[in-house]
Amino acid sequence: MRIKIYFLFFISLIFNDLSAQKPKNIIFLIGDGMGYNQMKVCEYYYQMQHIFSRWTNYWVSTYNADGFYNSDSTYNNFSYVRKRFTDSAPAATALATGYKAQDGVIGLNENFYRVKNLTEAAKQIGKKAGVVTSVPFCHATPAGFVAHTENRDNYHQIASQMFIESKIDVIIGCGHPDFDNDAKKFTDSSHFEYIYPSIWRELQKNNTELTDYLGKKRKIQSCDGDNIPDAWYFCQETSEFFDVAEGKKTYKRFFGIPKVYETLQLGRNPNKKSNSEVPPLSILAKSALNILSKNNSQGFFLMIEGGAIDWACHNGMKDRLIEEVKSFSETVETVVQWVEQNGGWEENLVIITADHETGYLTDISMNESVYNADSLKNFHILDVKNEGKNTISRMQFLQVHRLKSYVYNHTNQLVKLFVKGAGSEMFEKKLNEYSEMQLNFDKLRRSYYIDNTDIPKILFDFLK
Ligand SMILES: [Zn+2]
Residue 448 belongs to domain with CATH number: 3.40.720.10
The tally of CA atoms less than 13 A away on the side-chain side of residue 101 is 31
**Domain annotation covers residue 252:** yes
**Domain annotation covers residue 1:** no
CA dihedral (133, 90, 112, 192) in degrees, to 10, reads 40
**Domain annotation covers residue 201:** yes
Ligand 1 center from residue 300 Cα (angstroms): 28
Q: Helices marked H in 205-317 — which ranges?
A: 238-245, 281-293, 308-314
* Residue whose C-alpha is closest to residue 351's, from 312, 301, 313: 301
Ligand 1 center from residue 359 Cα (angstroms): 9
**Eight-state DSSP code of residue 296:** -
**Domain annotation covers residue 203:** yes
**Domain annotation covers residue 13:** no
* Backbone φ, ψ for residue 406 (5° rounding): -90, 5
**Domain annotation covers residue 317:** yes
Ligand 1 center from residue 103 Cα (angstroms): 12
Ligand 1 center from residue 64 Cα (angstroms): 14
Ligand 1 center from residue 33 Cα (angstroms): 6
Ligand 1 center from residue 310 Cα (angstroms): 5
The tally of CA atoms less than 13 A away on the side-chain side of residue 359 is 26
Q: What is the pLDDT of residue 70?
A: 97
Pairing of strands 447-451, 441-442: antiparallel
Q: What is the pLDDT of residue 376?
A: 78
Q: What is the pLDDT of residue 21?
A: 81
Burial of 310 (0-12, 13-18, 19+ CB in 10 A): buried
**Domain annotation covers residue 4:** no
Ligand 1 center from residue 403 Cα (angstroms): 15
Q: What is the pLDDT of residue 7?
A: 64
Q: What is the pLDDT of residue 229?
A: 98
How many domains are contained in the chain? 1
Ligand 1 center from residue 237 Cα (angstroms): 29
Ligand 1 center from residue 401 Cα (angstroms): 11
Distance of CA 307 to the CA centre of its chain: 8
Ligand 1 center from residue 404 Cα (angstroms): 14
Residue 60 makes CB contacts below 8 A (sequence gap 6+) with 353, 414, 415, 416, 417, 449, 450, 451, 452, 454, 455
CB 96 within 8 A of CB 144: yes
Ligand 1 center from residue 430 Cα (angstroms): 28
Ligand 1 center from residue 412 Cα (angstroms): 12
Ligand 1 center from residue 143 Cα (angstroms): 15
Ligand 1 center from residue 351 Cα (angstroms): 21
Mean pLDDT per 10-residue segment, the chain (464 residues): 61 55 96 98 96 98 97 95 96 98 98 98 98 98 98 98 98 98 92 97 96 98 97 98 97 98 98 97 98 96 98 96 98 98 98 98 93 85 87 87 78 98 98 97 96 98 94
Give the 3-state secondary structure of residue 436: helix
Ligand 1 center from residue 16 Cα (angstroms): 40
* Residue whose C-alpha is closest to residue 421's, from 354, 355, 341, 340: 340
CA distance 293 to 381: 44
**Torsion 356-360-362-368 (CA) sign:** positive
Q: Across the strands, what pairs with 185? A: 179
Largest CA distance in the chain: 83
The model's pTM is 0.95
CB 409 within 8 A of CB 33: no
Ligand 1 center from residue 67 Cα (angstroms): 16
Which residues constitute the domain of residue 450?
28-462
Ligand 1 center from residue 206 Cα (angstroms): 33
**Torsion 390-394-400-404 (CA) sign:** positive
**Domain annotation covers residue 5:** no
CA distance 178 to 176: 6
Ligand 1 center from residue 213 Cα (angstroms): 26
Ligand 1 center from residue 311 Cα (angstroms): 6
